[in-house]
Structure 1
Amino acid sequence: MHLLQVDHVVRKFGGLTAVNDVSLHLDDQELVALIGPNGAGKTTLFNLLTGMIPVTSGKIVLNKNSQSYDLTKESATKIADLGLSRTFQNIRLFKDLTVMDNVLTAMTNKYHEGFMTAILRLPNFYQTECEMRVAAEKLLAIFNLTANANTLAKNLPYGTQRRLEIVRALATRPQILFLDEPAAGMNPEETADLTQLIKYIQTEFKITVLLIEHDMSLVMNLAQRIYVLDQGQILATGTPEEIKVNPKVIEAYLGEGDE
């Protein structure tokens, strides 16, 4: 049984079919890439998988702890609680909050306090706050952001903002992490560092990663499997070696060069 099973998912916007009969799966602790030309429907598919928009038809099922959850019936908040987290193509940090506060804000879905506990500032409230801060400090240390803990997110360099967004997604303690073009706008040195960071995340945090990316060198170095999306449909799937020589993929995407 796959960790995440996507069956015949369709998303229509009026007369436009953005995602058309897509089926795919993710297994536990694997790193999968989703590639395709601009406008292929990749980010729309991410939005469907994480509950940002509803499906028109089809089914998305999470199999976790011997239970199955139909994600097409759940809100984005519930889906996040079930262990699916994401970054965005356009960075969506809280720009006027510090690095530390961005991470702490992301942790609230895993640290729940009763209403009266929070209002009256009972001992459990302070214990929870302490646990969250310790966990946040550990994450910042792992990703070399400790020195930036009190810096406003808007004052960080672009590459560091990208890194913080990944840290914030990890702060929710996901089982599946969706990365939407994490290398966008990065220079070659930053992209090389990001490649190592994603490898580290997948192995050390023992999570599944689904990656949208146009940088083919990054994809080929990271992915165990690749899905190719074209005009809203799955064009091909396989290992990096298989995708490189697939004539349909070469004609539709790889032959165009990196975008």
Structure 2
Amino acid sequence: MPLLTINDLTKNFGGLAAVSHVNIVLEENELVGLIGPNGAGKTTLFNLLTGVYEPSEGDVLLDLDGNEQRLNGMKPYKIADLGLSRTFQNIRLFKDLTVMDNVLIAMNSKNPEGFLSSVLRLPKFYRTEEKLRQRVRELLSIFNLEDKVDTLAKNLPYGQQRRLEIVRALATDPKILFLDEPAAGMNPQETADLTKLIRQIQKDFGLTIVLIEHDMSLVMDVCERIYVLEYGQVIADGDPEKIKNDPRVIEAYLGGEI
């Protein structure tokens, strides 16, 4: 059974269908691209899958060890607890908190300590806190941010802020990671480094990764399958070779870019 099944997913805003009868299947441990022109409905689709919006029609079904869970109408924090995590097109870090604290906040739902232990600062609380901090350091080291633990997020260079957003998403221990334009605003070297990093994340964490991205060299390089949206509808899906040679995709989006 697929890890995530999206059936006839539709989102209407007044008389406008921002997403219309979208069908997508995500398997375990695969890297999937989601591309299309601006306004095609890509971020709206992410918002539907992560609980920011509730679908007007259709279903989002998550397979949890053979038990199907319908995500429609769930709050974002509940969906995150089930293993769906994301980054945002516009960086949404806590800019006046340190790198360490940004990631610790994401780990809050994984903290087994109860309210009383936390308020009274019992010894068990400090032991758990240190374990969480060690885990944060391990994650930051993968992204070459281990020396930035005490730096305020707003003082990081742009590319490092993007990396920190991914670390924070990984800190929730997701099954599926949605990356919304992770290379936006990056220079060519930063994008090349990110391409390697995305591959490493999938390999080391065994995740399903879904990637919205306008950098076609990155998409074609890392994605195993690609879905193409236009006017809120899927107009093509398949491997990168099929997508870049699809006449409708070329007309709608790629043009002479590839």
Q: Which residue pairs with 2:168 in the alignment?
A: 168
Does residue 224 of the first structure (1) align with residue 224 of the second (2)? yes
Q: Which residue pairs with 1:38 in the alignment?
A: 38
**Runs (5+) with no aligned partner, structure 2:** none
Q: Which residue pairs with 1:191 in the alignment?
A: 191
Residue 157 (structure 1) shift: 0.5
Give CA deviations for 1:36-75 in whole Å, capped at 9, x if unaligned: 0000000000000000111111000000122211000321
Does residue 138 of the first structure (1) align with residue 168 of the second (2)? no
Aligned AA for 1:200? Q
Q: Which residue pairs with 1:105 in the alignment?
A: 105
| TM-align CA RMSD | 1.0
Q: Which residue pairs with 1:55 in the alignment?
A: 55
Distance 1:184 1:80 in 2: 24
Distance 2:116 2:99 in 1: 28
Aligned AA for 2:233? Q
Q: Which residue pairs with 1:203 in the alignment?
A: 203
Give percent identity, aligned residues only. Answer: 62
Residue 113 (structure 1) shift: 2.2
> How many correspondences in the alignment?
258
Q: Which residue pairs with 2:84 in the alignment?
A: 84
Moved more, 137-146 or 154-163: 137-146
Q: Provide the secondary structure at the position in 1 that maps to 2:110.
A: coil
Moved more, 104-113 or 22-31: 104-113
TM-score, normalization by structure 1: 0.97
TM-score, normalization by structure 2: 0.98
Residue 256 (structure 1) shift: 6.2
Distance 2:78 2:131 in 1: 23
Q: Provide the secondary structure at the position in 1 that maps to 2:109.
A: coil
Q: Which residue pairs with 1:151 in the alignment?
A: 151
Moved more, 88-97 or 63-72: 63-72
Give CA deviations for 1:155-191 in whole Å, capped at 9, x if unaligned: 0000010011001100111110000000001111110
Does residue 20 of the first structure (1) align with residue 26 of the second (2)? no
Aligned AA for 2:201? I
Distance 1:244 1:257 in 2: 10
Q: Provide the secondary structure at the position in 1 that maps to 2:101.
A: helix
Residue 110 (structure 1) shift: 1.3
Distance 1:128 1:79 in 2: 24
Q: Which residue pairs with 1:124 in the alignment?
A: 124
Give CA deviations for 1:67-119 in whole Å, capped at 9, x if unaligned: 21100032111100001000000000000001111111111111132111111
Aligned AA for 2:179? L
